[in-house]
Chain A
């Protein structure tokens, strides 16, 4: 009886998960495996030679351009992640501790407003703001703070960091907010009761307990930014390409799909290793069950 019921439940469950599962396999695993397969093929003229080779990886790892671009991608992603998480924490803290409970839903709604416009348009807007004849320069000149436009606001790493940090802010705010919400408020009172000031209580109680959210926010921001393609293209103006731009160039302009695939897979592995090291370093914070 119970066995048949379990079977029935299992069948029902399988029926329910199979469409998304199928979709995920087709849309996620299949392209990934294709890329992986391509990376071991050889590039012929206008065709892909389907014979196994490690030559692509050898070239990627020996390529000084790859080293430079990969390093730059990691640096940009680290800067963006730092800026985003450091700016997101006070917002999440304010949201969790200062905003009255009945207003929280409204605040979360407000935080998601940037998502109402497409990512591409937001990136373009930053271009409008930062360009040589853009909003920032015009305003500063109108106010006679500067006489000549500041020319180096676009097409550099700082501009990319500003744009990406803005784009990913909600992704960092929400997980930190959730972690802060989960903290039992009596723990903070206990910290004060045991003789610690508000600041020390924050340092010894709030922050460690918020770390799972901070780790999640870091990964959520770091992983997509390192592979971002649009911002370096538009804000960087192609002058400071990141790894995604290099992959794109190999895939399309140079038409060397095996090389592009090998680049993509290598970048993916590097991101995975960095992420795992980060999680490992924070393992003590992640073990806590509240």
Chain B
């Protein structure tokens, strides 16, 4: 686990569970060969345009997530890769081979279904061995492989159990073992954790990451849970309405969303309306309600934006600090405000703060999160506070 630079600040909400990245993993992945390539993939269901020109490359060994709200086409895209859906136009390549006329049973992919799709008439071992029918190995070797696969997912000794007698978490492990025993090039996971309770889900997230590192297979995960995607993925494609809105590494996606929509979907982001004062080459000077004038360098300007919205400054709740008024702090910029609401979470507290405007009014409340430190008081609703922030953590959506 990486410690945040400022001990007062929390990492990204999902950061707590994130595994230490192996050194050079991201560089190694960039050098890896493309495993799945989608070129201008369109899919129509009658008049409904489910996939609108998907272009993406998923590299061998990558843990890739398709993230988006329900109906955004992420599951359709996964099923296109698996071969369960034909495409209306475009090209899908897996390991360099065109998949146009390759049926699902001939593709080097295996899937963990959302419902797990465990065969209810078979035992756990028979489920895991289902895909081994045409494997030329001897019976005893296959049995051994099944035992290994069960051990890999922590189900040693469950082989003889009836599949319908398993819990949700166990079913999912069986589904994983059943897919991984076939050593596919790509493992497709369709919302595999959505049916599990929170504790189990967090445990499985970590186990899935470890498993993926261990087997080295390309994982493609479909999820609507941004936290899950941030925790597990090497890269994430955020999808809205059949198209990819942004494709980036989790850190980039969280810190530098390209649009308000992506920013809104991934975690919490505060928005304050801004007026562009002047352009100084690459840098823009903006006047922001409650914060005053800020110089925003090009790197912090979202390149893509929804058409009709006015310019906005966005920042994450943990990107700013809040202290009782008058208490010294070393933030580069400071603004005054009043606490509107306090929500206590144990390890941290969320404050809704109205920032003072020049004309004496206050802004809409912005959400600020602070890690709770022993001995530090939690300001009450109505208290005057100082908000400390840095222009470096502000993003301009224009």
Contacts and interface: CB of A to CB of B under 8 A. Distances in A.
Nearest to A190: B117
Given A187-B119, A288-B120, A290-B120, A196 B105 contact: yes
Nearest to B131: A194
B233 interface: no
B385 interface: no
A197 B82 CA distance: 15
A209 interface: yes
Given A186-B113, A186-B115, A289-B120, A193 B105 contact: yes
B158 interface: no
A186 B111 CA distance: 11
Given A184-B115, A186-B113, A288-B164, A193 B104 contact: yes
B121 A285 contact: yes
Contact of B113 (A189, A209, A287): A189
Interface string B63-99: 0000000000000000000101000000000000000
A205 B122 CA distance: 10
Nearest to B135: A195
B350 interface: no
Residue of A195, A204, A285, A287 with most chain B CB atoms under a 10 A cut-off: A195
A205 to B, nearest CB: 6
B142 to A, nearest CB: 14
A192 B179 CA distance: 12
Nearest to A284: B121
A199 to B, nearest CB: 11
Interface residues of B, number: 25
A208 interface: yes
Interface string B98-113: 0000011110011101
B134 interface: yes
A192 B121 contact: no
Interface string A24-42: 0000000000000000000
Contacts of B164: 288-290
B182 interface: yes
Contact of A209 (B103, B111, B121): B121
Contacts of B104: 189, 192-193
Contact of B103 (A191, A192, A204, A208): A192
Nearest to A288: B121
A290 to B, nearest CB: 5
B115 A195 contact: no
A193 B82 contact: yes
B265 interface: no
A189 B103 CA distance: 11
A209 B120 contact: yes
B119 A205 contact: yes
B117 A186 contact: yes
B120 A204 contact: no
Contacts of A209: 120-121
B111 A190 contact: yes
Contacts of B130: 191, 194, 196, 204
Contacts of B105: 192-197
B198 interface: no
B178 interface: yes
B182 A195 contact: yes
B110 A193 contact: yes
Interface in B175-189: 178-179, 182
Contacts of B109: 193
A209 B117 CA distance: 13
A100 to B, nearest CB: 13
Contacts of B179: 193-194
Contacts of B84: 189, 192-193
A187 B122 CA distance: 12
B133 interface: yes
Nearest to A287: B162
Residue of A187, A193, A285, A287 with most chain B CB atoms under a 10 A cut-off: A193
A190 B134 CA distance: 16
Nearest to B122: A208
A193 B182 CA distance: 11
A44 B106 CA distance: 77
A189 B106 CA distance: 13
A188 to B, nearest CB: 9
A214 B162 CA distance: 22
Given A189-B84, A190-B111, A288-B164, A196 B121 contact: no
10 contacts: A184-B115, A189-B104, A189-B111, A190-B119, A192-B104, A194-B179, A195-B131, A196-B133, A204-B130, A288-B164
Interface of B: 82, 84, 103-106, 109-111, 113-115, 117, 119-121, 130-131, 133-134, 162, 164, 178-179, 182
In order of increasing CB-CB distance, the 7 nearest A-B pairs are A194-B131, A190-B117, A186-B117, A288-B121, A192-B104, A208-B121, A186-B113
Given A184-B117, A204-B133, A209-B120, 8 more contacts: A187-B117, A189-B117, A194-B105, A194-B130, A194-B131, A200-B133, A288-B120, A289-B120
